[in-house]
């Protein structure tokens, strides 16, 4: 099995490794070695590549985690792409009608355009939409791409909390206009401005991400741009 992985593309390799890691966590080293030829050392090496380093240090900005919220309304699927700085809590959500690597790449560029700092790393799950064009773009930009894996709450907690927030505070409250995309996108932009510049966060001493950044980095509020769409 390990030898045969050389015949796959990089995205296929990542997916196969995830399957083997999940098998290892459920059935143990002996069964995994018999089935795939991968022992504990191999699994450990793969895990190091999949994980983002934790715990994050205070003020260690630039580590972005992302995920997608799927919403089905009257049989029609909508996807809300989410990304957040794990420490600063600066976030972006955009609505797309398909879950593809090209759309994730577009979302990444839009995030990079509004994010006020330098992106140091990007974490996502290993779904096919997070591979391909998007993964290639991160490599071109020199940004390490880490993958989360199941049953690891410490890694997933930041984005899962933000997913719940966007669902409860925005998506669920705007289902009546979900098909009116111009209006939906405008309300979403307004919500994001509120989230990043006014909404207090407990982890930021009840300040918004932008307020916290201004205090910590001495940045002028006029130097920040809030154009999301």
Whether residues 82 and 10 fall in one domain: no
Q: Please give the C-alpha separations between residue 147 and each of 23, 52, 86, 122, 166, in angstroms, as whole numbers.
A: 17, 7, 15, 9, 22
Q: Are 146 and 89 in contact (CB under 8 A)?
A: no
Using the predicted structure, report yes or no on whether residue 169 has a pLDDT greater than 90. Answer: yes
* H helix or E strand, kind and range, residue 166: helix 153-166
Q: Cα dist. 179→68, 98, 106, 163, 175 in Å?
A: 19, 14, 21, 21, 8
Question: What is the predicted pLDDT for the residue at 81?
Answer: 97
Query: Band of the pLDDT at 9, cuts 50, 70, 90?
Result: very low
Domain contains 58: no
Q: Are residues 204 and 98 in the same domain?
A: yes
Element (H, E) at 88: none
One domain, residues 30 and 70: no
- Asked whether residue 228 is assigned to any structural domain, the reply reads no
Q: 88 and 17 in one domain?
A: no
Q: Is 212 in the same domain as 150?
A: yes
Domain that holds residue 199: 63-223
Q: For residues 184 and 116, state if they share a domain.
A: yes
The predicted model gives 84-94 an average pLDDT of 95
CATH number at residue 164: 3.30.420.10
- Residue 41 has φ and ψ, to the nearest 5°, of -65, -40
Residue 78 lies in a domain: yes
Question: Mean of the pLDDT values across residues 144-166?
Answer: 78
57 within some domain: no
Q: Is residue 55 part of a domain?
A: no
Say whether the peptide bond before residue 55 is cis (omega within 30 degrees of 0).
Answer: yes
Interacting residues of 188 by C-beta distance below 8 A, sequence separation 6+: 93, 94, 95, 170, 174, 228, 229
Instruction: Identify whether residues 135 and 197 lie together within a single domain.
Output: yes
pLDDT of residue 56: 55
Q: How confident is the model at residue 41 (pLDDT cuts 50, 70, 90)?
A: confident
Query: In angstroms, rounded to a whole number, what is the distance separating the alpha carbons of residues 76 and 104?
Result: 20
What's the pLDDT at 7?
43
pLDDT of 152 above 60: no
User: Is 34 found in the same domain as 83?
Assistant: no
Task: Return the half-sphere exposure (C-beta side, CA atoms, 13 A cut-off) of residue 115.
Answer: 25
Q: Look at the chain and report how many structural domains it folds into.
A: 2
- Which H/E stretch holds residue 228? none
Domain-located, residue 229? no
Q: What are phi and psi of 4, to 5 degrees?
A: -70, -20
CA 31 to each of CA 23, 47, 190: distance values in angstroms, whole numbers, following the listed order: 8, 18, 52
pLDDT at 32: 87
Task: Tell whether the model's pLDDT for residue 50 goes beyond 70.
Answer: no
Q: What is the mean pLDDT of residues 147-174?
A: 81
Same domain, 24 and 45: yes
Same domain? For 148 and 214 the reply is yes
- Whether residue 77 is found in the same domain as residue 24: no
Residue 5: what pLDDT? 42
Residue 56 lies inside a defined structural domain of this protein = no
Q: Is residue 171 part of a domain?
A: yes
Q: Are residues 10 and 104 in the same domain?
A: no
């Amino acid at each position: 099995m390990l030898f045969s992985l050389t015949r796959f593309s990089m995205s296929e390799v990542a997916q196969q490794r995830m399957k083997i890691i999940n098998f290892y966590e459920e059935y143990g080293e002996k069964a995994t070695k018999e089935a795939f030829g991968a022992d504990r050392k191999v699994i450990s090496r793969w895990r190091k590549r999949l994980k983002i380093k934790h715990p994050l240090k205070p003020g260690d900005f630039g580590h972005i985690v992302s995920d997608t919220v799927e919403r089905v309304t009257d049989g029609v699927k909508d996807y809300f792409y989410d990304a957040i700085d794990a420490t600063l809590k600066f976030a972006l959500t955009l609505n797309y009608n398909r879950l593809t690597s090209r759309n994730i790449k577009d979302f990444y560029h839009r995030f990079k355009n509004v994010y006020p700092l330098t992106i140091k790393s990007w974490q996502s799950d290993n779904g096919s939409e997070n591979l391909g064009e998007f993964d290639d773009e991160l490599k071109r930009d020199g940004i390490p791409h880490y993958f989360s894996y199941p049953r690891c709450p410490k890694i997933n907690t930041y984005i899962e909390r933000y997913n719940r927030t966007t669902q409860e505070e925005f998506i669920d409250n705007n289902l009546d206009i979900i098909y009116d995309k111009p209006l939906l996108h405008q309300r979403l932009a307004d919500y994001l401005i509120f989230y990043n510049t006014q909404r207090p966060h407990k982890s930021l001493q009840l300040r918004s991400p932008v307020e916290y950044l201004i205090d910590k980095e001495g940045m002028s509020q006029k130097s920040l741009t809030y154009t999301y769409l």
